Chains A and B, each alone.
Chain A
């Protein structure tokens, strides 16, 4: 028990349904290569891992610190491009991957500190507007510097041999599944995301995390108590950026690709917002629930909607409304309702918190 307690930093799900759901997600992701061996389902599982980490790192900002940033995908992209550029320019070795990681993390630290110190002193709205402008500038930059970033096409790159799908790592199959480089990559993603998620959980449950929440609740009073609000918020911004960068690194390792549409685009930023709000702001577990539901829905709900569209063919407008590409419409409505009526999202509901 004490191991669980330490791993979760004493922050239990506090709801039986939530605990079961989280356990299902954990077990499902841990055994994904064996339980869901298909290419598509393994892709979904890896994406879930990455997005749980990405959304959790965003929740550190939005839910725990009360800051709205639109630059989160920028840090995600820095991670992905860091790996991709290092691997294409320096060759597919472990050394170049490590160098790419370090460079990406350093770049994120510097950028997040600069943005934070320049604009965190001012209003929430101002920060949101500035980050939106900076992030869009960054994604334009990535598509313009095509010699370096591959432009709109992005970069497809090779990983070290042991991570290549063609590399057999064990002679015998385990439970009928061949243990190859792809499976190894998956477990790097899985354990990387799990470890960092637990680290984030530890941060928000530490004294530092409680100060952040105090600042969010009442900036003025926390300042009066003697905490330097700007410093704390800048550090939170920086930690969140680092975790997002790590998520980008894992994602690039999994996809062996980095491009504007998979990491930098505003659409991904909006996806993150949807996941964190629907899952539950300020709960960390909400990130896990939100990301899992969202990505599964993204990949499978659309099939269902397709069936609906075909069935509704001939009725005006209705086929358009339930067209698979329109699923964001319904999520958007769900999002608005969540913000009004369940600001703590699914997790808050499950915990019975108003």
Chain B
């Protein structure tokens, strides 16, 4: 990426591949440390699955920050709400979900996921209009207001769903593991990886192949110039905010099924991982968020196996190391 001031032929540097290489690097470093290959495969899949779920939840938050310089500390509430809405749909449909039939399971899961996304998205819309809109450009107030929103949202969850932890079993099809020789891979984890990849691919296509995507990418760089070209950046922003909230709802359902329990504190617990992920990725960068999420997922699983006591601190350590290497995160977003 040398400066091309004098030469008339700048070269295309493509995307920065070093962060991409970190994922296989981490997996390879873990390989000799973990006693058996099957365990390594299991842990790797588990790490990727966890990373994908975190990515789904974190992507909207990082885009919203990139577009409007807004950090929503209440994003976790959308995750929790998604999970609770799913319980309201899935528990009455428990017979379908517990049936040993893929179609019955889907008939229970699809409405649950759609309802979770719709409610989280609607809540996101309300949140943007009522809570965040008056405090654009004022970071301190934004943090305070969104924390306040988080408190109220958590309390309302208690009012509606009660204070107790709710059990949420996985649908029958996704229980248990695929066994390949010595290797056991949780079915649910495979499903999480597939959904995560699908969301990433869809997001990639929208951002790179559509006009709205162009607007979002341009808006992340310089929202004022996008307006000077005649586009209402606020509309784009509200759209992204709603989509990001809906994705948080989807992630909430996936995370809840992964844990098989739903509690009002889950959003905040995941939020800490999400913050670490978007700091690692570079605030505002979707690609960085994806890589950061996978790194966090892998490291959490490997360290959790090797040294359970320090597992939870490993992500903080990972963040510190990456910030020492690249203080703006893996993919710093070019700002005006």
Contacts and interface: CB of A to CB of B under 8 A. Distances in A.
A332 B155 contact: yes
Interface of B: 65, 71, 73, 131, 134-135, 139-145, 147-149, 151-152, 154-156, 158-160, 163, 268, 271-272, 275-276, 279, 283, 309, 312-313, 315-316, 319, 323
A195 to B, nearest CB: 29
Nearest to A130: B279
A205 interface: no
Contacts of B271: 132
A-B pairs, top 5 by smallest CB distance, nearest first, are: A329-B155, A332-B151, A332-B152, A336-B148, A124-B139
Contact of A133 (B71, B143, B309, B319): B319
Contacts of B71: 125, 128-129
Interface stretch (A75-83, A175-183, A320-328): A320-328
Nearest to B272: A136
B159 A133 contact: no
26 contacts: A62-B140, A66-B140, A123-B139, A125-B143, A128-B71, A130-B279, A133-B275, A133-B276, A133-B315, A134-B316, A136-B272, A144-B309, A144-B312, A266-B268, A320-B158, A320-B159, A320-B160, A323-B159, A326-B159, A328-B154, A329-B158, A332-B151, A333-B152, A339-B135, A339-B145, A340-B145
B143 A68 contact: yes
Contacts of B155: 326, 328-329, 332
Interface residues of A, number: 40
A134 B323 CA distance: 14
Q: Which of B139, B143, B149, B279 counts the most chain A CB atoms within 10 A?
A: B143
Nearest to A333: B152
Nearest to B275: A129
Interface string A98-131: 0000000000000000000010000111101110
A329 B156 contact: yes
Contact of B147 (A118, A125, A130, A273): A273
Contacts of B143: 68, 124-125, 128
B279 A126 contact: yes
Nearest to A125: B71
Given A320-B158, A332-B149, 10 more contacts: A66-B140, A123-B139, A125-B143, A133-B315, A136-B272, A140-B313, A270-B147, A321-B159, A339-B141, A339-B144
A332 B148 contact: yes
Nearest to B309: A144
Contact of B151 (A320, A335, A343): A335
Contacts of B142: 125
Contact of A328 (B65, B73, B151, B283): B151
A31 interface: no
Given A129-B71, A320-B159, A332-B148, A137 B312 contact: yes
A340 B142 CA distance: 10
Contacts of A332: 148-149, 151-152, 155
A153 B315 CA distance: 25
Nearest to A318: B159
A266 B151 CA distance: 11
Interface string A310-354: 000000010011010110110111011001100100000000000
Contacts of B65: 125
Nearest to B152: A332
A141 interface: yes
Nearest to A343: B141
B316 A137 contact: yes
A250 interface: no
Contacts of A266: 268
Contacts of A277: 144
